[in-house]
Amino acid sequence: MSTTEKAMEAFVHETGSWVAAQLESCTRCGMCAEACHFYQATGNPEYAPVWKMELLRRAYEQRFTLVGGIKLSLGLDKPITDEEIAHWGELNYEACTVCNKCSMVCPMGIDIGSLLHGMRAGLAAAGAIPADLAAAVTKQVDEGSPLGMTDKVWDQRLEWVADEWEVEIPRDVKGATTLVVFSSIEVMKFPANVAAIAKVLNKAGEKWTVSSKAREIVNFGFYEGSEEHTKLFLNRVLDGAKDLGVKRIVVTECGHAYDALRWHAANWIPEASNFEVIHITGVLGELIGSGRIKIKPGFFNDGGKITFHDACKIQRKGGHIQEPRDILKVLAPDAFIEMTPNREESVCCGGGGGVIAVKAADPVRYASFELKIDQVNTVSAKTVAMTCSNCRLQFTDGVDHFKLDWKVAGLSQMVADALEE
């Protein structure tokens, strides 16, 4: 099968009545363009969301509609080519974080993010994914993690975190209530976050555990758009949860992983609905709201202004909008300040959806990050707090690249630092 045939087969597979209705509803008004941070940052018309999903629309029209057949026979449209597949691969993997802000402005209520995920399914089937993203997927298939967090590395890192921060990290505890699955970004790049979450859960008296089987929450199959790989990585988490007999799975600071496990897993794997899936932001809100842990009021009042970056999958999609604000208003009542836009209207960091893993995307990723720089500088914040380690990676890299003098902070770490003894 040629590249195009593989993509077309996958597009057709993706195109049920719901997708058809969504595609038919688009009036091509173009209002979604300005909502996209990549379009806003560059003015490139090919970065308009409606254009990024154009290949899916043409595949649908050509395969399923009379108009599409007539257009082809009259030469008003041409069959999709391998070159077009490759080009849309670049547009979708380098200049879309699947943040779904575009859906919020569409007057037809089209769920553009879901259609763009469908685009990725076709592109992945055709192999039109960037080499570095494909390599990360292969690493996750072979080693269990895209960041080289093999069994041995995971074991050593957790032991080191426990020693370094003097915190107990319960492992493979059968009968625990809660399974916590960290992302390799945290374990490898932000280990203090691992220690912080352990400290908070221990303080709350939570019966929790990590699992050596379910040790990676990141899902590069989901970034890629491959159902096969997404399910493989989800099953690793769910098998670990099943073996230990836990009731709920806590996803730590990773937005895309939360999206995959919270909203997609049960559609593919029925056993997924046996578990409550919750993001650590929700857990922090619960623990503080119920008084199971106490944090020191005003603990972060004196280090300059603090603002909060809303992550697309955790705040906009996940709804964990109020908890971080309630926490920051206790920790830094005089220093907390909102940037604009915020909450569900927040602008994406620019590094999600696998974009940060694609080297060729660096120029547009940095261009997009300049939007965040403006927002943070407008409120003169010196610290930007967040609840997604992928956003944190993008912010940390952006701070380094643009030589900014801000601190980038994970909310779990702030809570752990401010715990009342």
No. of H helices and E strands in the chain?
22, 7
Which CB, 31 or 72, lies closer to ligand SF4? 31
Taking the complex as a whole, the smallest distance from the CB of residue 27 to ligand SF4 amounts, in Å, to 5
318 to 357: interface string for ligand SF4, x by CB under 6 A:
------------------------------x---------
- How far apart, in Å, are the Cα atoms of 77 and each of 24, 29, 80, 291, 389? 17, 21, 9, 63, 44
**Is the Cβ of residue 96 or residue 197 nearer to ligand SF4 in the bound state?**
96
Q: How far is the CB of 415 from ligand SF4 (least distance, A)?
A: 29
- Residue 98 binds to ligand SF4 (criterion: CB under 6 A): yes
Q: Judged by CB, which is closer to ligand SF4: 232, or 321?
A: 321
> Is 199 near ligand SF4 (CB under 6 A)?
no
- What is the pattern of x (binds ligand SF4, CB under 6 A) and - over residues 47-66? --xx-x--------------
User: Is residue 123 involved in binding ligand SF4 (CB under 6 A)?
Assistant: no
Q: Is 99 in the site for ligand SF4 (CB under 6 A)?
A: yes
CB 378, min distance to ligand SF4, A: 21
For position 201 contacting ligand SF4 by CB under 6 A, the verdict is no
Distance between CA atoms of residues 414 and 23, nearest Å? 44
Q: Is 214 helix (H, G, I), strand (E, B) or coil?
A: coil
Q: Which two tokens stand for residue 327?
A: 């926490």
Nearer to ligand SF4, 100 or 211 (CB): 100
Q: Quick check: 404 binds ligand SF4 (CB under 6 A)?
A: no
Footprint on residues 258-287 left by ligand SF4 (CB under 6 A): none
Alpha carbon distance 214, 201 (integer Å):
18
- CA 204 to CA 200: how far, in whole Å? 6
H helix runs in 190-337, sequence order: 191-204, 220-224, 227-244, 255-259, 265-268, 280-289, 322-331
Specify whether the CB–CB gap between 214 and 236 falls below 8 A.
yes
CB closer to ligand SF4 out of 72 and 105: 105
Give least dist CB 71 to ligand SF4, A. 19
Residue 259's contacts (CB-CB under 8 Å, 6 or more residues apart) are 222, 313, 317, 318
| Among the residue ranges 33-41, 178-186, 264-272, 403-411, the one whose residues contact ligand SF4 (CB under 6 A) | 33-41
> Which CB atom, from 27 or from 81, has the smaller least distance to ligand SF4?
27
28 lies in the binding site for ligand SF4 (CB under 6 A): yes
Stretch that binds ligand SF4, among 96-104, 212-220, 238-246, 402-410 (CB under 6 A): 96-104
Rg (CA), the chain: 22
Does residue number 314 form part of the binding site for ligand SF4 (CB under 6 A)? no
Q: Report whether 115 contacts 14 (CB < 8 A).
A: no
Q: Are 237 and 261 in contact (CB under 8 A)?
A: yes
| CB closer to ligand SF4 out of 97 and 375 | 97
Residues across the chain: 421
Per CB under 6 A, does 101 bind ligand SF4?
Answer: yes
Q: Counting contacts by CB under 6 A, is residue 247 touching ligand SF4?
A: no
Counting residues that bind ligand SF4 (by CB under 6 A) gives: 27
Does 237 bind ligand SF4 (CB under 6 A)? Our answer is no
Of 309, 401, 311, 310, the residue nearest 353 (C-alpha)? 311
**359 is a site residue for ligand SF4 (CB under 6 A):** no
The correct pick among 10, 112, 201, 234 for binding ligand SF4 (CB under 6 A) is: 112
Q: Of 2, 21, 30, 326, which one interacts with ligand SF4 (CB under 6 A)? A: 30
User: What's the CA gap between 230 and 240, in Å, rounded?
Assistant: 16
Q: How many CB atoms lie within 10 A of CB 315?
A: 27
Instruction: Give Cβ neighbours of residue 8 (< 8 Å, ≥ 6 apart).
Output: 59, 63, 80, 122
Whether the Cβ atoms of residue 343 and residue 419 lie closer than 8 Å to each other:
no
Rounded CA separation 143/145 (Å) = 6
Q: Does 96 participate in binding ligand SF4 (rule CB under 6 A)?
A: yes
Q: Which of 29, 70, 360, 379 binds ligand SF4 (CB under 6 A)?
A: 29
Per CB under 6 A, residues contacting ligand SF4 are 26-32, 35-36, 38, 49-50, 52, 96-102, 106, 108, 110, 112-113, 116, 348
